[in-house]
């Protein structure tokens, strides 16, 4: 027998839980369907009306200044941190000029949803009066005017016709009469009634704050595509559902065409003033930059700095080469003066090898040496011709030392000149960072102000053009019409959602019942819930147990009193005999086996363990005295449960008892019935 991991989900177990809980699923679907049906038949009705409007900003091509500011902010990194800060300043100025960086459509949406527009809608349609009975009529069907200016708690009024054209009005603190078409004075305000009224009706009065909340809850504005806005409203009656969007759009159009009048003119004046200021600042920045460039010679600090560094590097390289040659030549002349080297060896100096004059002397010296050597083959060293050649060789060698000293002096002069140039360039580079910083700042100021000037000029032209079409191009597109069908509850959608919710809830309840219910239905549920091996008894299958080699005694304990353990004991014994092991069954299920066996149950089991390979002890239950006498940590317990509907509490209690006593549990066998044969005990 094997256990299932507690952190895995077996789809077969899920399917079994759903199959066993089909009644729960069916009941859940039925209840959800009934609720959906009741909602369709008796639920509150809701109608939806919608209207649309085209909103085009007066600045049709958008805010160029905003785009330019974005480019400056994005490109500020090229000029260092200062450029980024300048870009942020421009962006802030743009926001101030345009009144924010949001989309014009978003602004119009906020205006449509504002309390000012909703208050106008409420006053126009008398929405501070809410019909409660009947609910399919608008407020205008009951009142012609509502004057409820002060805050108050909602007030329900019951109108009942008492005579021709007379109505009795009852409510909290109200008990009076009013005539149809008359004026009803109340503690919270006054109502002017219609001439035609139903026999009985109920009205709820709301103060302005509550009315705005009620309307705002059912009022929606959204962008449906391009520059089109759709306004919708839900109401219990179809007339109000259509009227609210139409009145809201009418109020919005009136505001756009009146309150925006003159905005672009003021904007143009502001832009003109700002443009003059920026132009003056730009002229001053350009003059400062020109004076700095004339004074410092830094037209472009980055390029000039790069060239200066390259020049210094080249001079230092040349200085190093000159110093190396000077030191080597000084050492060579010192050795010649000391007599350790000859003047002829100056020819091998690298700088002299490159000289044409030295090479000519070397060639002449080589020719004289060759002629002298050829004469010495026939004549003596005292021969006049040999002596003349030797004198010529000495004269040529003597010419090398003056040349070397002259080159030595040239190297010293070169080194002094290079050191002078390096000192001047080092001094210049020392002052370069400050000059570069100042030049970069002046350059950024000129670029920033130039970009701002261009943007302001463009915006000024656009603002002057927009004065021709104040308020933008705003026009109604679709008018809300009185809807014929309710949007809630919609029969098919409500039925589908209800049945789907019922099915989902039934599945959840079935799964929860399968994993945490009162009963465990099969061996898989036992393994998943309790973590112990479990199997269903089959007389045709050998009954094996893991870890059998170390077990000498196996205790069979029924979970419930009516469960018979004889068949399980016989099958265990038969399996042991089939494997060549001796087995015996000890029946301790008698009413008082401890007394019958002379209080020697433990000794009897110890003797049987010596005589047989496996001792199978049948016990009456965990609460019996005989069971307490034989329980031991070396004797595993095999629990026997009924094959159907195992009581979870009984099984969990048995396992908890064994764990407290530190007695191992070999598993659970599901079995019913009596033994099918006799086995010697």
> Hey, is 342 helix, strand or coil?
coil
pLDDT of 439-464, one tens digit each? 677 778 888 888 998 998 888 888 77
- pLDDT over 50 (residue 101): no
Confidence of residue 417 (pLDDT cuts 50, 70, 90): confident
- What's the rounded mean pLDDT across residues 123-146? 92
**pLDDT at 130 exceeding the cut of 90:** yes
Distance, in Å, from the CA atom of 477 to the CA atom of 474, rounded to the nearest integer, reads 9
pLDDT in tens, 11-53: 766 776 777 778 888 888 889 888 888 877 777 778 899 999 8
Neighbours of 340 (CB within 10 A): 9
Instruction: Determine the distance from the C-alpha atom of residue 181 to the mean position of all C-alpha atoms in its chain, rounded to a whole number.
Output: 61
675 pLDDT above the threshold of 90: no
What percent of the chain is modeled with pLDDT above 70? 71
Q: How many whole angstroms separate alpha carbon 529 and alpha carbon 515?
A: 7
Strands, E assignment, 64-210: 129-133, 143-147, 155-163, 166-171, 174-179, 183-186, 189-193, 200-205
Mean pLDDT is lowest, of 226-240, 250-264, 483-497, 631-645, for 250-264
Is the pLDDT higher at 560 or at 473?
A: 560
| pLDDT one-digit tens code per residue, 309-324 | 677 677 777 777 777 7
Of 211-220, 347-356, 394-403, least confident by mean pLDDT is 347-356
More confident residue, 259 or 153: 153
Residue 492, Cα to own-chain centre: how many angstroms? 37
Closest CA to 570 of 665, 673, 659: 673
pLDDT of residue 122: 94
Q: Per-residue confidence at 426, pLDDT binned at 50, 70, 90?
A: low
CA angle (294, 300, 302) in 5-degree steps: 140
Q: In this structure, what token pair is assigned to residue 562?
A: 């009516």
Over residues 590-619, the mean pLDDT reads 72
Give one DSSP letter per residue of 78-91, joined into a string: GG-HHHHHHHHHHH
Q: Which is more confident, 178 or 521?
A: 178
Q: CB under 8 Å to 499, separation ≥6 — which residues? A: 29, 32, 33, 36
Q: Are 421 and 282 in contact (CB under 8 A)?
A: no
Give the confidence band of 303 by pLDDT, cuts at 50, 70, 90.
low
Beta bridge partners of 192: 145, 183
pTM of the model: 0.46
Lowest mean pLDDT among 209-213, 249-253, 420-424, 586-590: 420-424
Give the pLDDT of residue 73: 42
Residues 6 or more apart whose Cβ sits within 8 Å of residue 379: 385, 386
Euclidean distance between CA atoms 238 and 241, whole angstroms = 5
pLDDT at residue 86 in the model: 43
For residues 535-563, give the mean pLDDT.
78
CA distances from 8 to 13, 15, 18, 174, 535 (A): 11, 15, 18, 68, 19
Highest mean pLDDT of the ranges 250-259, 268-277, 317-326: 268-277
Mean local confidence (pLDDT), 386-396: 71
Q: Which residues contact 535 (CB under 8 A, 6 or more apart)?
A: 1, 523, 667, 668, 669, 670
Supply the mean pLDDT for the chain: 77
Could you tell me which residue, 269 or 217, shows the higher pLDDT? 217
State yes or no: cis peptide before 651, omega within 30 of 0: no
pLDDT at 83 over 50: no
Per-residue model confidence (pLDDT) at position 464: 77
Q: Where are the alpha helices (DSSP H) in 99-181?
A: 104-112, 115-125
The pLDDT assigned to 95 comes to 43
- Please identify which residue in the block is written with the tokens 């991991």: 5
DSSP string, 237-276: SHHHHHHHHHHHHHHHHHHHHHTTTTHHHHHHHHHHHHHH
Question: In this model, does residue 592 exceed pLDDT 70?
Answer: no
Residue 233: how many CB atoms within 10 A of its CB?
25
Per-residue pLDDT averaged across 607-612, rounded?
83
């Amino acid at each position: 027998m094997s256990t299932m991991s507690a952190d895995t989900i077996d789809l077969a177990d899920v399917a079994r839980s759903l199959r066993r809980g089909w009644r729960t699923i069916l009941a859940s679907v039925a209840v959800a369907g009934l609720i959906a049906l009741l909602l369709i038949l008796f639920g509150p009705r809701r109608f939806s009306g919608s209207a649309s409007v085209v909103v085009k900003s007066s600045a049709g091509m958008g805010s160029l200044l905003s785009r330019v500011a974005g480019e400056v902010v994005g490109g500020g990194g090229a000029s260092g941190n200062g450029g980024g800060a300048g870009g942020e300043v421009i962006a802030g100025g743009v926001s101030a000029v345009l009144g924010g960086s949001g989309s014009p459509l978003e602004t119009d949406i906020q205006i449509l949803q504002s309390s000012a527009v909703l208050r106008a809608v409420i006053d126009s349609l008398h929405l501070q009066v809410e019909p409660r009975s009947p609910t399919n009529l608008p407020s205008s069907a009951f009142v012609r005017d509502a004057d409820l200016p002060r805050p108050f708690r909602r007030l329900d009024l019951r109108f009942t016709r008492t005579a021709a054209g007379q109505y009795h009005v009852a409510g909290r603190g109200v008990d009076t009469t009013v005539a149809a078409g008359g004026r009803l004075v109340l503690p919270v305000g006054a109502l002017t009634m219609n001439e035609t009224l139903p026999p009985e009706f109920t009205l709820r009065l709301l103060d302005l704050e509550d009315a705005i909340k009620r309307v705002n809850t059912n009022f929606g504005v959204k962008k449906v595509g391009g520059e089109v806005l759709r306004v919708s409203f839900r109401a219990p009656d179809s007339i109000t559902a259509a009227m609210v969007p139409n009145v809201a759009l009418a109020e919005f159009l009136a505001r756009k065409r009146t309150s925006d009048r003159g905005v672009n003119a003021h904007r143009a004046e502001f832009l003109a003033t700002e443009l003059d200021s920026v132009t003056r600042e730009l002229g001053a920045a350009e003059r400062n930059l020109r004076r700095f460039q004339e004074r410092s010679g830094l037209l472009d600090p980055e390029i000039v700095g790069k060239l200066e560094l390259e020049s210094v590097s080249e001079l230092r390289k040349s200085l190093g080469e000159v110093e190396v040659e000077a030191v080597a030549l000084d050492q060579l002349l010192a050795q010649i003066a000391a007599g350790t080297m000859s003047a002829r060896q100056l020819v091998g100096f690298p700088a002299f090898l490159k000289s044409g004059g030295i090479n000519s002397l070397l060639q002449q010296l080589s020719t004289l040496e060759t002629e002298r050597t050829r004469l010495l083959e026939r004549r003596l060293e005292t021969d006049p011709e040999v002596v003349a050649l030797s004198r010529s060789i000495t004269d040529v060698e003597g010419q090398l030392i003056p040349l070397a000293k002259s080159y030595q002096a040239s190297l010293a002069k070169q080194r002094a000149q290079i050191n002078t140039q390096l000192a001047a360039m080092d001094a210049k580079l020392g002052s370069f960072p400050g000059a570069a910083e100042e030049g970069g700042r002046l350059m950024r100021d000129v670029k920033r102000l130039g970009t701002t000037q261009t943007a302001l000029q463009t915006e000024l032209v656009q603002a002057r053009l927009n004065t021709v079409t104040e308020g933008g191009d705003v026009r109604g597109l679709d008018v809300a019409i009185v809807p014929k069908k309710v949007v809630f509850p919609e029969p098919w959608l409500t039925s589908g959602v209800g049945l789907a919710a019922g099915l989902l809830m039934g599945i959840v309840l079935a799964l929860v019942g399968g994993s945490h219910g009162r009963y465990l239905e099969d061996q898989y549920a036992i393994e998943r819930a309790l973590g112990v091996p479990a199997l269903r008894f089959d007389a045709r299958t050998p009954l094996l147990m893991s870890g059998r080699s170390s077990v000498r005694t196996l205790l069979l304990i029924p979970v419930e009193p009516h469960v018979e353990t004889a068949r399980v004991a016989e099958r265990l014994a038969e399996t042991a005999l089939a494997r060549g092991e001796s087995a015996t069954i000890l029946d301790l299920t008698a009413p008082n086996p401890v007394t019958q066996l002379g209080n020697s149950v433990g000794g009897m089991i110890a003797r049987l363990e010596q005589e047989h390979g496996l001792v199978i002890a049948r016990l009456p239950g965990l609460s019996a005295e005989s069971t307490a006498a034989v329980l031991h940590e070396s004797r595993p317990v095999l629990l026997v449960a009924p094959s159907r509907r195992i009581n979870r509490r009984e099984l969990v209690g048995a396992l908890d008892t064994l764990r407290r006593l530190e007695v191992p549990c070999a598993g659970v066998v599901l079995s019913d019935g009596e033994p099918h044969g006799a086995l010697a005990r």
